[in-house]
Amino acid sequence: MDAHSDLSIQRWTSLSLGVAIVVAVLFVLLAVGPAFLPRTILDKLTVLFIYVCLAAMWNALAGYGGMISAGQQAFFGLGGYLAIRLSEWGIWPYPALIAAAALAGLSALPISAIVLRLRAGEFAIGMWIIAECVRLLVNLDPVIQGDTGRSLIALSTFDAAERRIFTYWMALASMGIMLGIIFLLLRSRLGSSIQAIRDNEEAAASVGVRVLVAKRIIFMIAAVGCALAGALWLATFTSFQPRSFFGIQWSAYMIFMVLVGGIGRFEGPILGAIIFFLIETWFGTSGVWYLIMLGLTALLFSIFLPKGIWGYFEDRFHVSLLPVGYRVQTFVSGPDRRLGEPFN
Amino acid sequence: MSFLGAVIDGVLLGGYYAMIACGLSFMFGIMKIINLAHGSLAIVAAFMLWTIAERLGYNPFLALIVVLPAMGCLGWLLQRAVLERSARSGELVPILSTFGLAIVVENSLFEYFGADTRSLAPYVGSLSYDSFDIGAGLYVGELAVLTFAVAILLLGGLQLFLTYTPLGCAIRATAEDPDTVELVGVNSRFVNAVAAAIALVTVGLAGLFLGLRSSFDPYVGSMQLIFAFEAAVIGGTGSLWGTLGGGIVLGIAQTFAAHLHPQGFLLAGHGVFLLVLVGRLYFSGHYLRALLKLKLG
Amino acid sequence: MSLLSISALDIRHGLLRAVREVTFQVGQGETVALIGANGAGKTTLLRAIAGAHRASRGQIHLDGLDVTSMPAYQRVTMGIALVPEGRRLFAAMTVEENLQLARASGRQGDWTVDRVMDTFPMLKARRKARCGTLSGGEQQATAIGRALMTNPRVLLLDEVSLGLSPLAVDLVYKSVESLIASGATILLVEQDLKRSLKVANRVMCMLEGRIVIEGDAKTLTREQITDAYFGHHHKRSQAEKAS
C-alpha cells in the first residue's frame, strides 16, 4: 500500500447524518399530527404507514434475504384473524393487535421449518400454498362465519375520533419500529450475513455464516411485520373477510412496491410504498385496469429496471441516504480526496 | 361411493394433474425457472377454445389445431421477451416477472370475458358426463379416462422426443450445461425458446381438459398453478413419469378427503404436499436438493 | 494468409484485465503451444477465441472473416472448436449422444462417430456408456472427439492432460499427434512443458495477460522459456533500465 494513504472505515457520512436528523424531525411531526391534521389525512397516512411496513418486510425477505415470497398474505391475514380471535376471548382491542402480531411471529417458526430449505421459485409457491392452508384453516373457525367474515366489534367501545387517533399512532409506531429493527439489523453482523446469503448462499456458508439461522430470523421478523400490518388494517377498516385478507393481491402490492421503489435498498420500499399509495389514490377505483397496470409495471420493471427507481438513482449518482453499509475512505496526501463506494 | 371407486377416480384425476404439471416441470428442468403465470396461461388456452367453440361453433378438440400452435408461439415469445431478459438479472427476477405476468393475464381475461364461469363441456356432446360401466357397480367417467390416456401419451411422447431426437438431445444438454452447449454449436437461446414453446403447448392441452372437466373463470389459474406445483414436487424424483406419480397421489388424497368434509379436497391436497416436503427434508437430508430439482430423466 | 489471426485482444474478468493487447497468428496446419503459469490468461484467451467470453477490445479473424462479435455457436459453424478445460462433458448423456450433439454445427466434413472411435480406440467399448461413468482418459478422448465432430478448421485444446494419469496422457497425446500428422491446425494450452514443446511448431509464453516470448519450439532455449514463464526477463530488463 502506498505510504501516503490512510484507510478509515466510516458508517456515517455528513449527508446521511443530515438525513437522519430530518427523519427524526419528520417522525416527531407525524406523531403530533393528530393535533393539526384533518381526519381524512390521518386516515390516508395510516394506510400509507401500513403499506410502508408491508413493503419494508417484503424487501427484507427478498432484497436482503434473497427469499421471494408469494405468500406473505398468510401472516397479513393471520394478524387480522388472531386480532379477532383474541378480541372474542376478551382481550382489549389494541393490545390484541400487538398480541396477534406476536403470535403470528411465533407461528412463523414451524412454518419456517418447512419452507426455508426451499429455494427461489419453490419458496415463492411454497409460501403461496402456506397462505392457502392458513386461509382454509381460519375458515374452519366458526367465529369467522366462512367468507362472510367478522368485524372487530370491540373497537366500537371507542368513539370514532379516538379510534382514528389510536390506530394512527399505532400504525406510525409500528412502521417506525419495524423500519428501525430492519435498519439496526442491517448494520449488525447479522445484516452482513443476510446479504452474503442473498449474494451467494454457498459461499456464505463456507465462511461460517449460519445460513438457516439468519434466514429464520429475517423470516420471523417479516412475519411479525406483516401480521402487524394485517392487524392494523383490521383496526382501520374494522371488518375481516378471509378472501380479502388472504388474497394474493397483497403479494402483488408488495412486489410492486419493492420492485418499483428499489429492491435490496433501505429507502427503496419507502419510495415504492409512497408511489403505490399515490397510484391507488388516483386510480384505485378503476377496478381491474388498476391491477393490470400494477402487474404490467412490475413486469416491465423486472425486465428493464430490476433495481427499481431508488436502485437506479443510487447507482447512477452514488448516493446513499441512510447508512446501512460501510464506506471505505482513503485520504491521499494533499487535498481531502474521498474515494470509495458503499460496500453494500 | 365405494373405496375402490374413490381410488379409481383419484388415479384418473391424477392424469389431469400430470398434464398440467408436466409443462411446469419441463420449464423448470430446462430453464430453471418456475413460471408463476403457468396456471393463468392454461386459462388463456381454455378461453381461446371457448371463444372458438362459442363464436365459430367448432368442437374444442378441433379448435386445438389453432390453439396449440398459438400457445407454442406464446411460449416462444414468453421466453424471448420476458424470461431470457429477466433471467440475466439473477435467478430470482424471473419469479417476479412471471408473477407480474400472471396478474396481467388474469385481470385482462376478467376485463374481456367478465366474471362468469364458462365451460367447454357443452360443446363436446355427452363426453363430460358419460361413463363406462366397469362392473362391480363401478362407473368411471369417459372424460376422466380420456384425460388419463392423453396424459400418458403426452408424457410418453415428450420422453421419446427428449431421448431420441436431435433437438431433444440438444434440450437435455442445454438443461445440463447451457454454456458448454454453445461450444458444440448449439444455439442455447433457440433451444430454450423451443422448450418454452413445447411447455406452453402442453399447457394448452391441459387447458382443454380443464375446461372439459370443470367450469373455469379468469381467476382459477392460481389454483391450477398450485396443483401443478404440488404434483410435481410430490412426484419429484427426476423423470416426467414422477410427475404422473405425484399427480396420482394428489388426486387420490383429494378424492378421499372430499368425501369426508367439503373443505377436505383442498386441505388434503395441501396436506399431502406439506407432508411429502417435510418427509423429504428430514429423512433425506442433503438429497433434498437433488430430489426437488425435478431434473429430467 | 494465416488461418487464425488475433489482434490487440483485451479481455476482462470484471475489473481485472486477464488478457492484455495480445496479438498473434496461427497458420494453416500449424500447431502452436500456449504456455504460462496459472492465472496468466491462457484459458481466458482460448475461451474468448471460442466465443465463450466476450473480448472488450481487439479482433479475432478466422481466415479473414471477423468473428469477434459472433456468438459461440456461430463460431463453431465457422470452424472454431474448443475442448474446454475440465472436459465439460454432458455427464447424463452417453458418449455417442455427446458426439452426435456436435453435429448441430452443421459443418460438413470427414468426422463421424466411427472415425472418432477409430482415433480413440479406448472409446469403442464405452460407446453407450454415460459420460459420468468414464475414466479421466476416456472423458478427455470423448471431449476431443466431440470437438472433432464439428469438423473444425481450428482446434483449441485447453489443458488436455489435466487430472489424467501419465498413461492416459500418453494415449491422448498419441491421438493428438495423429491429428497433427493429418494436417489439423491446433492451438493448445498445456502445463506439461515437455509435451507441449514436443508436439508444437511454435511456442508462446504468457505472463499476466501478455505474450512475453514467442518462437519456434525447436530453437527456443530452456533458459529463455523459463525466464519468460517466471517473468525473469521483465526483472532483468527493469534492472538493465535502472543501471
Nearest to A294 by CA among C151, B192, B107: B107
Nearest to C178 by CA among C145, C206, C226, C211: C145
Instruction: Compute the distance between CA of residue B238 and CA of residue A116 in angstroms, rounded to an integer.
Output: 22
On whether the CB atoms of residues C60 and C6 are closer than 8 A, the answer is yes
Give CA angle at B201 (B199, B207), nearest 5°: 105
CB burial string A105-139: b at 16+ within 10 A, e below: bebbeebbebbbbbbbbbbbbbbbbbbbbbbbebb
Query: Around A161, how many Cα atoms within 13 Å sit in the side-chain half-sphere?
Result: 4
Q: Are strands C202-207 and A327-331 parallel, antiparallel or unpaired?
A: unpaired
**CA end-to-end span of chain C, whole Å?**
43
**B-chain residues near C53 (CB < 8 A):** none
B49-87 pLDDT, tens digit each: 999 999 999 999 999 999 999 999 999 999 999 999 998
pLDDT recorded at residue A6:
60
pLDDT recorded at residue A174:
93
Residues 6+ apart with CB under 8 A from B110: A288, B218, B219
Element containing residue A327 per DSSP (H, E): strand A327-331
**B-chain residues near C106 (CB < 8 A):** 185
Nearest-CB residue to B288 (from A117, A124, A251): A117
What DSSP string describes C169-228? Answer: HHHHHHHHHHHHHTT-EEEEE-S-HHHHHHH-SEEEEEETTEEEEEEETTTS-HHHHHHH
Q: What is the pTM of this model?
A: 0.87
* Helices vs. strands in chain B: H and E counts, helices first: 13, 2
Cell of A97: 393487535
pLDDT-based confidence at B297, cuts 50/70/90? very low
DSSP state of A334: S
pLDDT recorded at residue A315:
79
C-alpha C99: how far from chain center: 19
**CA end-to-end span of chain A, whole Å?**
23
Residue of B92, B263, B270 to mutate for A, most A C-beta atoms under 10 A: B92
Cell of B227: 396443483
Chain B positions with Cβ closer than 8 Å to C: 166, 169-170, 172-173, 176-177, 179-188
Instruction: Compute the distance between CA of residue A254 and CA of residue C238 in angstroms, rounded to an integer.
Output: 61
Q: Are strands C210-216 and C202-207 parallel, antiparallel or unpaired?
A: antiparallel
Query: Around A52, how many Cα atoms within 13 Å sit in the side-chain half-sphere?
Result: 22
pLDDT over threshold 70, residue C236: no
Nearest-CB residue to B263 (from A119, A139, A259): A139
pLDDT recorded at residue C235:
59
* Cα dihedral B32, B36, B40, B46 in deg (nearest 10): 20
Instruction: Compute the distance between CA of residue C234 and CA of residue C240 in angstroms, rounded to an integer.
Output: 10
C164: phi then psi, degrees, rounded to nearest 5: -105, 150
Q: Are strands C154-158 and C185-189 parallel, antiparallel or unpaired?
A: parallel
Residues 6+ apart with CB under 8 A from A298: A252, A255, A256, A259, A260, B96, B97, B99, B100, B103
Higher pLDDT, A164 or B133: A164
Using a 10 angstrom Cβ sphere, with 0-12 exposed, 13-18 middle and 19 or more buried, the burial of residue C6 is: buried
Using a 10 angstrom Cβ sphere, with 0-12 exposed, 13-18 middle and 19 or more buried, the burial of residue C99 is: buried
Residues 6+ apart with CB under 8 A from C95: C123, C126, C127, C128, C129, C131, C134, C138, C142
Instruction: Compute the distance between CA of residue C113 and CA of residue C99 in angstroms, rounded to an integer.
Output: 7
Interface partners of chain B (CB pairs < 8 Å, 3 or more) are A, C
C87-118 pLDDT, tens digit each: 899 999 999 999 999 988 888 888 889 999 98
Rg, Å, chain A Cα set: 21
Residue with cell 420492485: A259
**A-chain residues near B266 (CB < 8 A):** 132, 136
pLDDT recorded at residue B254:
93
Residues 6+ apart with CB under 8 A from B152: B15, B244
C207: phi then psi, degrees, rounded to nearest 5: -145, 120
pLDDT-based confidence at B190, cuts 50/70/90? very high
DSSP state of B121: G
Instruction: Compute the distance between CA of residue A296 and CA of residue C206 in angstroms, rounded to an integer.
Output: 51
Chains A vs B: touching, with 3+ CB pairs under 8 Å? Answer: yes
- Judged by average pLDDT, the poorest of A285-289, B90-94, C40-44, C181-185 is A285-289
Residue of B95, B274, B282 to mutate for A, most A C-beta atoms under 10 A: B95
CATH fold of the domain at B3-296: ABC transporter involved in vitamin B12 uptake, BtuC (1.10.3470)
Instruction: Compute the distance between CA of residue A230 and CA of residue C71 in angstroms, rounded to an integer.
Output: 51
Instruction: Compute the distance between CA of residue C231 and CA of residue C235 in angstroms, rounded to an integer.
Output: 7
pLDDT recorded at residue A225:
96
**C-chain residues near B185 (CB < 8 A):** 73, 76-77, 102, 104-107, 150
Q: Diameter of chain B by CA atoms?
A: 61
User: Quick count: other Cβ atoms within 10 Å of Cβ C115?
Assistant: 14
Rg, Å, chain B Cα set: 19
**B-chain residues near C92 (CB < 8 A):** 172, 176
**B-chain residues near C72 (CB < 8 A):** 182-183
Contact B180 C91 (CB under 8 A): no
pLDDT recorded at residue A340:
35
ipTM (interface predicted TM): 0.87
- Judged by average pLDDT, the poorest of A183-187, A206-210, C75-79, C142-146 is A206-210
Residue of A nearest to B94 (CA): A302
% of chain C residues with pLDDT over 70: 95
pLDDT over threshold 90, residue B223: yes
Query: Around C199, how many Cα atoms within 13 Å sit in the side-chain half-sphere?
Result: 30
pLDDT by 10s per residue, chain A, length 344: 444 456 666 667 777 788 888 888 988 888 888 888 888 888 999 999 999 999 999 999 998 888 999 999 999 999 999 999 998 888 888 899 999 999 999 999 999 988 988 888 889 999 999 999 999 999 888 888 777 778 877 777 778 888 888 999 999 999 999 999 998 888 888 878 877 777 777 777 787 778 888 889 999 999 999 999 999 999 999 889 898 999 999 999 999 999 999 988 888 999 999 999 999 988 877 778 888 999 999 999 999 998 889 888 887 777 666 655 555 555 444 343 333 333 33
Residues 6+ apart with CB under 8 A from B20: B39, B42, B203, B206, B210, B224, B227, B228, B231
Query: Around C212, how many Cα atoms within 13 Å sit in the side-chain half-sphere?
Result: 24
Nearest to B269 by CA among B246, B288, B289, B293: B246
A222: phi then psi, degrees, rounded to nearest 5: -65, -35
pLDDT over threshold 50, residue C141: yes
Residues 6+ apart with CB under 8 A from C185: C3, C4, C26, C27, C28, C29, C30, C31, C153, C154, C155
A117: phi then psi, degrees, rounded to nearest 5: -85, -5
Higher pLDDT, C82 or A117: C82
pLDDT recorded at residue A13:
72
Query: What's the one-letter identity of residue A114?
Result: I
Using a 10 angstrom Cβ sphere, with 0-12 exposed, 13-18 middle and 19 or more buried, the burial of residue A96 is: buried
**C-chain residues near B187 (CB < 8 A):** 71, 73
Nearest-CB residue to A299 (from B101, B230, B292): B101
Question: Closest approach of chain C CAs to the CA of B252, in angstroms?
Answer: 33
On whether the CB atoms of residues C185 and C28 are closer than 8 A, the answer is yes
Element containing residue B141 per DSSP (H, E): strand B139-141
Residue of B nearest to A198 (CA): B92
